[in-house]
Amino acid sequence: MIFDETRDILEIVRRFMHFFVEESCGICTPCRAGGVDMLNKIERVVAGRACQQDLDECNQWAELMRCTSRCGLGTTAARPIITSIDKFPELYEAKLSKAKHTLLASFDLEKAMSGHAEVFKNLVEEVRK
Ligand code: SF4
């Protein structure tokens, strides 16, 4: 495939991974689970919430999927991420979180807490009664 400079490589990779997740039949655990995890990781990269550990784990998934998947879909599904990390490392480097706190960069605290603030407030009011 040929893309011109107007295309966002990371978005192309995200779409490829979405395709592989949709097309996996799910028989092999590495293909089924690895595809979903790698899609989550590339979405974190695009959102600027990924860390180096996410990329390292992509490499581990890629090797596991390549060696243990039963068909060509699973053995090649990781290639968009792995190839783009290799050919365009600067795109990933620019997106990796530089956060230096104790929470994993990939952990979205606001999202995890969404909806709970109201529950917590009601609980506090219940206790005060
Ligand atoms: S590698 Fe092939 S057979 Fe295995 S889960 Fe993926 S699509 Fe199915």
**What is the distance in A from the centroid of ligand 1 to the CA of 77?**
10
pLDDT tier, 104 (very low <50, low <70, confident <90, very high otherwise): low
What are the tens digits of pLDDT across the range 78-96?
Answer: 999 999 999 999 999 999 9
| List of residues 6+ apart from 28 with CB closer than 8 A | 68, 69, 70, 74
Q: Which pTM value belongs to this model?
A: 0.78
Three-state secondary-structure class, residue 77: coil
Nearest ligand 1 atom to the CA of 32 is 5
Domains of the chain: 9-98+105-128 (1.20.1440.230)
Ligand 1 mean position, distance from CA 91 (Å)? 30
